[in-house]
Structure 1
Amino acid sequence: MLIIGIILFGILVGAGAQLILGRSASGIDWTLAFAAGVGGSFVGGLLISLLARDGLHFRPSGIIGSIAGAVIVTAAWFWWKRRSGSSVS
């Protein structure tokens, strides 16, 4: 049950990261939302929770870190996609 919660939270955070970076609600890439949300939540949430000395518990610092991590992963993906798309033409 915890795994399902983590996956759903990651997808929501990843979709939120796309909305923060300017994607419309109808244009959300759900695969990217999953990857950025889970990866960003793991890395960002873990780092911020440990830096804030909250431990590995569900705290506001971990949520903020999750969102920040997902935004960074999503922005990097958009940058990479735009960079590789322009070099082909």
Structure 2
Amino acid sequence: MSKTYKELLAEQRELNARIDAAMQAERAQAISTIRELMEQFGITASDLAAKRGPRTRGPLSVKYRDPKTGATWSGRGREPRWIAGKDRRAFAI
């Protein structure tokens, strides 16, 4: 005999409640273990934070030069007026 839709939904709710309770219990145990280890080794919350330094990039290589003024452009960002709308191959270095 197969179960009805309502019976299956009731089982699902009960199972979800049991899953949530088990997860909460295991989570509490994990937090307790983490706190003990942090105290034992003198670890602080700031030690756990990802340390990100400033993102540094080297200088961009020059790809285009204006023959009249000597102005250069790397090809990134907004086009300078001296190259805008023109064939870039004529200015390539």
| Length-normalised TM-score, structure 2 | 0.33
Task: Point out which structure has higher relative CO (alpha carbons under 8 A, 6+ apart).
Answer: 1
| Length-normalised TM-score, structure 1 | 0.35
Which structure shows the bigger proportion of residues in helix conformation?
1
